[in-house]
Chain A
Amino acid sequence: MARPKHKPPQCALNFFRWYCHHEYNEEIEGDLIERFNLYLDKYGHKKAKQLFLKEVILLFRPTIIGNIHQLLNKNSKIMKTQSKQIISQKLKWSRIFSVTAFLLGCTLLIYMISVESELGALPLLLIAIGAIWFIVNQVLIKKQLR
């Protein structure tokens, strides 16, 4: 009967991939997986997972990490990308609101001219706010993309 396929714990493996120097990543990850399969045959799944985790923790040392600055830089790059994504998401909604204000102003202006034959202050104000809001958004997006 075929043995059920077990994989090494993903979160430990991801932690290893995060801290390990890219130069050593392939060989050591291969060794880790090979050791895990050996433990699996010898001790079973639960113990193999524990031993795998122990190996990953014991590998966390300066030689394997390589450059701590590089690791921190990698981390800050990820954070920068994430914050950029959040900001651009917020700017997207801001742009939608500015366009809505502009269009509402235009509709109101057309309505007032055609029905009431009188130019109101509110539509002009809405158009002005919408236009300024939209331009400010564009400037901010350009800054983010830099």
Chain B
Amino acid sequence: MSQNHLGEFEEIVLLTVAILNGQGYGASIICEIEERLKREVSLGAMQTVLKRLEDKNLVKSEFGESTKVRGGKRKRLYEITASGQQILNLTKAQRNSLWKAIPTVVFKIS
């Protein structure tokens, strides 16, 4: 996939990372998506997308604190980068323009 385009799931994950504002990590991002979108997400799919977004420089990460509930393992906290914000704005603008381009008659018939 091109560097300037996001897949559907990539977009959802990137938006969720933005919602969590630097406090999002694998498990918490899954919880947020499940809660907001009522959609089941596996940890494998989530980690793959997060690594891909990091490779594309759309998110950055750093280790956070470890907790007892995680068996003493540290979290990797993700934060959206400037290019991530830029690509989200671009995607939103593209979608809005597509929505605006739909003739009103199309939705009236269906």
- A→B interface (CB under 8 Å): 24, 26-35, 37-38, 54-55, 58-61, 63-64
The answer to whether A31 touches B70, judged by C-beta atoms less than 8 angstroms apart, is yes
The smallest C-beta distance from B57 to any residue of chain A, in angstroms, reads 17
Note all chain A residues with C-beta closer than 8 A to B47. 24, 28, 31, 59, 63-64
- Which stretch in B9-17, B22-30, B80-88, B97-105 binds the other chain? B22-30
Given contacts A35-B27, A35-B30, A63-B51, contact A29 B44 (CB under 8 A): no
B74 within 8 A of A: yes
Q: Contact size class for B?
A: 20 to 34
- B→A interface (CB under 8 Å): 25-27, 30-31, 42-45, 47-48, 51-52, 63, 66, 69-71, 73-76
Query: Pick the contact of A55 from B25, B44, B52, B76 — CB < 8 Å?
Result: B44
Query: Pick the contact of A29 from B25, B45, B52, B73 — CB < 8 Å?
Result: B73
